[in-house]
Structure 1
Amino acid sequence: MIGVLRPLVRRTTWRRWSHLVVGGALLMPYWFLSVSLTPLIPIGNPYVVLVLSLVVLPTAATLVTGLVPTVRMLETSLARELLEGPAKDLEPGPARSWESRGRTAAWFSLHLAVGVVISGLSLAVPPFAFVALLAPVVRWDEQFIDAWGWRGDWPQWPGPLIGLGSLVALLALIVAAGALLSRFAPVFLGPSAAERLAAVEARAVKLAERNRLARELHDSVGHALSVVTLQAGAAGRVLDSDPGFAREALSAIEESARAALEDLDHVLGLLREDPSRPAPQATLKDLGRLLEQTRIAGVTLDARIGPEVEAVPAAVSREAYRIVQEGLTNALRHAGKVPVRLRLGVAGDRLEMEMSNPLGAARGAGADHGGGRGLGGVRERVTVLRGEMSAGPDGERWCFRVSLPLRSGS
């Protein structure tokens, strides 16, 4: 008995019943219209007229209505809010293809047809059950009993069982219809294959943009913090003995921090979709300042930069600058203030870069034994430009090599 009554107290049962009743209410205008138009059709058979007015014309009208693109948005919102279960994951939106419109039309017609059945039974069964429950104990008027098809010589003791049975059957029908509609809603109202593909592509674009922003933030701010840490340590050690160098280091710290704040402001502007934030466009032309800041941090840097690198295409120049920046950051974090050798130049139609530092060097104040995301970000940049990259021990040195084509087709 408890199992039978449990659906009565479930919120889901009555929310789904509300969805069905809405479907029944929506069908009423179609019925009124078909009943008004059917007499205009020259058909003499009353049974055919009845089927036309109550079934054929309303069904055809609901199917046509379901083809309207916005019907899918309305039905999806209604199913998501009231049917719950599998329908809760539906995303409201208009039908953008004829395939989606066809499925929506079928769902709209099904929703209204099932809804009108449940609505009619919800109106008829409770009064019938009430009369049946009270039949053995109430002396009903003979005319009223005749209206229900009962006669005075009929036994009335089964009345309560019939009444309870009809209520239980109605409840079971409501639960079953609601559950079936919830299960089939994603089939009829869910995204088509083209819509799923478009959603996947949009998500891929969004993830790519997020990864790009993460790379920019990691490379610019991460490098600035690494350099500032070493510069501050170097300035503190020689503050009394070499105040000139200390002032130079503090000036470099200020410049590095300001550049990092500009990059951070740009990235935050992109996250807020603020178009007024100009994008930082550091290129290989700005490489001298980057190398000077690294030297002020106390790093012995042997850099040979070919003059032709300033003429490489802008897209390659911007990515190459970030790659050099991350290579220096990687050396500072994981090796400390060790001698770093950098070779950068153009060979044929490719930009070649090699950066190396000794293995097994004593760790400086800025050394970091932990791993990071730097090389992963560099690999992503290199992949986008269809270049080549290698990183790892080479004899007694750790080498980092990158080769980028100057033209996209190379």
Structure 2
Amino acid sequence: MSRPARAPVPPRLRPLIGRAVWRRWSYLVAGGALLMPYWFLGMLMVTATPWGGPVVQGVLILLVLPLVAAFVTGLVPAVRLLEGAAARELLGGPIASLPPGQARGWESRVRTGAWFALHLHMGVVVSGLSLAVPPFAAVLIMAPVTSWNERLWRAWGLDEPWPAWTTPFLGLAMLAAVLVLIAAAGGLLARLAPRLLGPSAAERLAAMEARAVRLAERNRLARELHDSVGHALSVVTLQAAAAGRVLDRDPEFAREALGAIEESARAALEDLDHVLGLLREDSSRTAPQLTLRDLDRLLDQTRIAGVELDVAVDPDLERVPAAVSREAYRIVQEGLTNALRHAGRVPVRLRVGVRGERLEVEMSNPLGARPAGHHGGGRGLGGVRERVTVLGGRMTAGPDGDGRWRLAVSLPLRPAS
């Protein structure tokens, strides 16, 4: 049998009897329960020492010592983590969207101490009223129809009891007042939680910096994956087409092309495995570290795909820093991929050399129609521009006016001081 649907709470009553109110009430009651050990400790300390009279001892037991002890407890870093988790689950509101975390500095510890003391003392007030008022209100509501009406008033020292018909209204008013108090106390804690339990300005800045680092790393991995796997797939497509055309009349070339396809696919799988390992935060994985020293292999794969290359590479590339060499390799790889995708098997001219304190990379090819089946939508030039920007270099790309597409990149060998 299906469970009958609950009647919806009227919008006007939702702030007083909605589910959020009772979740916050449970959070307050838990705070009241947590204050009990501090009261017992205060009673033990005060009764063991001759401090003042009953009034002074009562203030120390009920207020001063528990307040100080709760504040000191809140200075423990783990308290912020526990209180934050409970507040997110039971209080809700703005605190629910903030990340959990331990107190990392004294400023956060002090705020947590203030919160813990406030939580426990507001909680004990709400807990006491929640236990005492409902039974007393029930007595007042039932007084007109019971025999304890007159005895009740005499017990309170009242010679002339109130009219019996007024006591139910008084009991209902007391229940309503407690309900309003619970809703107000829970709402106040929900509003204060982000200020006292939320991250400080320094913690928010550190979190933003960490997020920016993660995004930059993921963006770098996306570029690596796009350049390596995208180039491999483009080359494999052309190599397979070339092997299919000459399979009957030139089996030796077809065999060489199939070997190149296998090598390209294996390299792409290795790059993919590296990137996926890094995304899984597998410390045993390392990012692909191909540099300009691996340029010959890249050019050989491109030639087997049927692309005629006119290459001039400066032999003086040993002094190119590793970071610049890695990015330059990926830039050349993406330039070749773009030529294959957008122009097909057209001659490509490549120049790589060191000029002063800069590494110059220039690629050009005749403008041609896109190969059949090409759908575009890549982000190759955008990835090249990101790499150049990170290194503080310069880049130009576009038709040169002579019917050729030209990509020119200039990268500094040393970062600008």
Report the TM-score when normalising by structure 2. Answer: 0.91
1:362 aligns with 2:369: yes
1:386 aligns with 2:392: yes
Q: 1:91 to 1:135 in 2, by over 3 A?
A: same
CA shift, 1:221, in A, is 0.4
Partner of 1:376: 382
1:135 aligns with 2:146: no
> C-alpha separation between the residues in 2 aligned to 1:3 and 1:307?
78
How many pairs does the alignment contain? 408
Partner of 1:404: 411
Deviation string 1:80-114 (CA, Å, 9 cap, x unpaired) is 11111222123332211111111111111111111
CA shift, 1:281, in A, is 2.5
Task: Provide the identity percentage.
Answer: 72
Q: 1:318 to 1:142 in 2, by over 3 A?
A: same
Partner of 1:299: 307
Query: What SS does structure 2 have at the residue aligned with 1:399?
Result: strand
Tell me if the contact between 2:350 and 2:364 (Cα under 8 Å) persists in the aligned partners.
yes
- Out of 81, 89, 92, the residue aligned to residue 81 of structure 1 is 89
CA shift, 1:370, in A, is 2.5
CA shift, 1:341, in A, is 0.8
Higher mean alpha-carbon deviation, 186-195 vs 380-389, is at 380-389
Unaligned runs of 5+ in 1: none
> C-alpha separation between the residues in 2 aligned to 1:82 and 1:369?
51
Q: 1:44 to 1:132 in 2, by over 3 A?
A: same
1:17 aligns with 2:21: no
Deviation string 1:352-375 (CA, Å, 9 cap, x unpaired) is 11001123x233347x46342111
> C-alpha separation between the residues in 2 aligned to 1:150 and 1:339?
110
CA shift, 1:149, in A, is 4.8
> C-alpha separation between the residues in 2 aligned to 1:148 and 1:13?
34
Deviation string 1:302-328 (CA, Å, 9 cap, x unpaired) is 111122225533222222111110110
Partner of 1:251: 259
Partner of 2:218: 210
Tell me if the contact between 2:16 and 2:180 (Cα under 8 Å) persists in the aligned partners.
no
Partner of 1:200: 208
CA shift, 1:398, in A, is 1.4
> C-alpha separation between the residues in 1 aligned to 2:141 and 2:158?
14
CA shift, 1:7, in A, is 5.5
Tell me if the contact between 2:392 and 2:412 (Cα under 8 Å) persists in the aligned partners.
yes
The code of the aligned residue for 2:383 comes to G
> C-alpha separation between the residues in 1 aligned to 2:248 and 2:134?
96
CA shift, 1:349, in A, is 2.1
Higher mean alpha-carbon deviation, 323-332 vs 44-53, is at 44-53
Q: 1:92 to 1:278 in 2, by over 3 A?
A: closer
> C-alpha separation between the residues in 2 aligned to 1:148 and 1:29?
33
Tell me if the contact between 1:65 and 1:105 (Cα under 8 Å) persists in the aligned partners.
yes
Partner of 1:156: 164
Higher mean alpha-carbon deviation, 49-58 vs 291-300, is at 49-58
Tell me if the contact between 1:284 and 1:310 (Cα under 8 Å) persists in the aligned partners.
no
> C-alpha separation between the residues in 2 aligned to 1:399 and 1:282?
24
> C-alpha separation between the residues in 2 aligned to 1:237 and 1:254?
18
**Pairing 1:204-353 to 2, within 5 Å after superposition:** 204-353=212-361
> C-alpha separation between the residues in 2 aligned to 1:386 and 1:358?
29
CA shift, 1:10, in A, is 2.5
Q: 1:259 to 1:393 in 2, by over 3 A?
A: same
Tell me if the contact between 1:76 and 1:90 (Cα under 8 Å) persists in the aligned partners.
no
- Out of 55, 61, 79, the residue aligned to residue 53 of structure 1 is 61
Higher mean alpha-carbon deviation, 149-158 vs 28-37, is at 149-158
The code of the aligned residue for 2:396 comes to S
CA shift, 1:128, in A, is 0.9
The code of the aligned residue for 1:364 comes to P
Deviation string 1:44-100 (CA, Å, 9 cap, x unpaired) is 454333323322222222222222222111111111111112221233322111111
Partner of 2:120: 112
Q: 1:153 to 1:117 in 2, by over 3 A?
A: closer
Q: 1:226 to 1:166 in 2, by over 3 A?
A: same
Q: 1:163 to 1:305 in 2, by over 3 A?
A: same
1:181 aligns with 2:183: no
- Out of 39, 48, 59, the residue aligned to residue 31 of structure 1 is 39
CA shift, 1:140, in A, is 1.0
CA shift, 1:262, in A, is 1.0
Higher mean alpha-carbon deviation, 138-147 vs 260-269, is at 138-147
Higher mean alpha-carbon deviation, 1-10 vs 229-238, is at 1-10
The code of the aligned residue for 2:112 comes to T
Report the TM-score when normalising by structure 1. Answer: 0.93
The code of the aligned residue for 1:376 comes to G
1:395 aligns with 2:401: yes
> C-alpha separation between the residues in 2 aligned to 1:215 and 1:278?
15
Deviation string 1:164-189 (CA, Å, 9 cap, x unpaired) is 11111111111111111111101110
Tell me if the contact between 1:283 and 1:320 (Cα under 8 Å) persists in the aligned partners.
yes
